Amino acid sequence: MSSRSRRSAALLLALPLLLAGCASAVADSNHASSSVHASEAPTSTEAPPSLPATPVLDSANDKPLPLDGYLLNPAQLLTVEKAQARLISDCMTRFGFSYTPPAPVLPGRDSDAPATRIDGRYGRQSTALLATWGYHPEGGGQPATKPPAEPPMSTQMATAERGTSDPKQRFGSGGQTVNGQQVPDRGCIGEAGKRLTGSAEGLVGDPQFASDLNLSTLQSARDDARTQAVFARWSQCMKAAGFSYADPLAAMGDPAWATTAAPTPHELQVATADGACRHQENVVGVWYTVDYAYQQRAIDENAAAMAKVRTALATEVQAATAALGS
């Protein structure tokens, strides 16, 4: 079972803080459209939202965000992915094939990572972790290992899995007979999707509409003049410490950090200064408050669509829990 990023690659490149937190493995069926389509997501041209009083925060990982209830939290994501893997495997067994999808695992997460959402949104916020691990994963980077190549599928096995054996097609409409069983629409992947979402073309994972809003509001919050102003103050603080970065995203995304398995002394110096400047300028407090305002406005402006999202999410988690318990 192949995987896809849960987030838009283009925006991930623009927002390096999401690179470590937002990607997760889900099946090819996740490429299918959901009942609430991405094209419905609005592009707001309104004035920036007004803000409540800005709290002083070094970390917002324990603070709620309005979209949290419309997206899978880490525990729910793992439940859904385990259920999807089991349903596909059980379906393939019914067709006479031994098929074990890759075991679902969450991306590496810091010890202070939020429990209510997959991504921390504002990058590493713990000054202790910044001083110890810099921008590397907590515990140190693990050497990249290439997964063993999977043996090629037979024509019948591919048909059972995807509803087609044509390598040029991602999915097929099924209907073929394999080992005495009729192949469902989109094969076993489609059958699992239907069990979890109600449709063979259903999006397994976060509803697309909510996922799009999650990214667009983060982009809006990043570009907001109030966030840019605190970024500018942070940048001046970093210059005083001897480091030149336009904003915290640039420091997190410095390509130099990816060249070593463990943080270098220079990286730790930058990260330590980053934490100190975040604290001095209340970067997280401002960023979180602006982000919260954009999320709340997006939900208010799309109440009907968000009601569908909440229902779809609850249905998916309930179906996944039932599948694992059966």
pLDDT tens digits for 237-296? Answer: 999 999 999 999 999 999 999 999 999 999 999 999 999 999 999 999 999 999 999 999
| pLDDT of the residue at 141 | 61
Q: Flag whether 61 is in a domain.
A: yes
| pLDDT of the residue at 206 | 95
Q: Flag whether 219 is in a domain.
A: yes
Distance between CA atoms of residues 51 and 294, nearest Å: 9
Nearest to 57 by CA among 257, 238, 289: 289
Q: Flag whether 159 is in a domain.
A: yes
| pLDDT of the residue at 69 | 96
How would residue 149 be classed by pLDDT, with cut points 50, 70 and 90?
Answer: low
Asked whether the predicted pLDDT for residue 57 surpasses 90, the reply is yes
Asked whether the predicted pLDDT for residue 132 surpasses 60, the reply is yes
How would residue 145 be classed by pLDDT, with cut points 50, 70 and 90?
Answer: low
Q: pLDDT higher for 299 or 47? A: 299
Which residues form the domain of 308? 16-21+56-141+151-325
Q: Flag whether 50 is in a domain.
A: no
Distance between CA atoms of residues 20 and 118, nearest Å: 10
Considering the chain, what percentage of its residues have pLDDT values greater than 70?
83
Distance between CA atoms of residues 269 and 286, nearest Å: 24
Distance between CA atoms of residues 162 and 1, nearest Å: 10
Sign of the torsion formed by the C-alpha atoms of 122, 126, 127 and 128:
negative
| pLDDT of the residue at 250 | 97
- Encoded amino acid at 169, one letter: Q
Q: Flag whether 8 is in a domain.
A: no
| pLDDT of the residue at 105 | 75
Distance between CA atoms of residues 291 and 214, nearest Å: 10
Q: 181: which DSSP letter?
A: E
- With beta carbons less than 8 A apart as the criterion, state whether 161 and 192 touch: no
Asked whether the predicted pLDDT for residue 47 surpasses 90, the reply is no
Q: Could you tell me the maximum CA-CA distance found in the chain, to the nearest angstrom?
A: 73
Q: Flag whether 171 is in a domain.
A: yes
Considering the chain, what percentage of its residues have pLDDT values greater than 90?
72
- With beta carbons less than 8 A apart as the criterion, state whether 103 and 86 touch: no
Distance between CA atoms of residues 212 and 44, nearest Å: 13
| pLDDT of the residue at 125 | 94
Angle at which helix 155-162 crosses helix 74-94, to 10 degrees, equals 140
Q: Flag whether 184 is in a domain.
A: yes
How would residue 151 be classed by pLDDT, with cut points 50, 70 and 90?
Answer: confident
Query: What's the pLDDT tens digit per position in 167-223?
Result: 999 999 999 999 999 999 999 999 999 999 999 999 899 999 999 999 999 999 999
| pLDDT of the residue at 106 | 72
Q: If you average pLDDT over residues 229-236, what whole number do you get?
A: 98
| pLDDT of the residue at 146 | 60
Mean pLDDT taken over the chain: 85
Asked whether the predicted pLDDT for residue 13 surpasses 70, the reply is no
Query: What's the pLDDT tens digit per position in 92-118?
Result: 999 999 988 877 877 778 888 998 998
- With beta carbons less than 8 A apart as the criterion, state whether 226 and 220 touch: no
Q: 240: which DSSP letter?
A: H
Asked whether the predicted pLDDT for residue 22 surpasses 50, the reply is no
| pLDDT of the residue at 1 | 41
Distance between CA atoms of residues 106 and 325, nearest Å: 21
Q: Flag whether 146 is in a domain.
A: no
Q: Which of 141-145, 186-190, 319-323 has the lowest mean pLDDT?
A: 141-145
Number of domains composing the chain: 1
Q: 146: which DSSP letter?
A: P
pTM of the entire structure?
0.82
Q: In which element (H, E) is residue 178 found?
A: strand 177-178
| pLDDT of the residue at 140 | 74
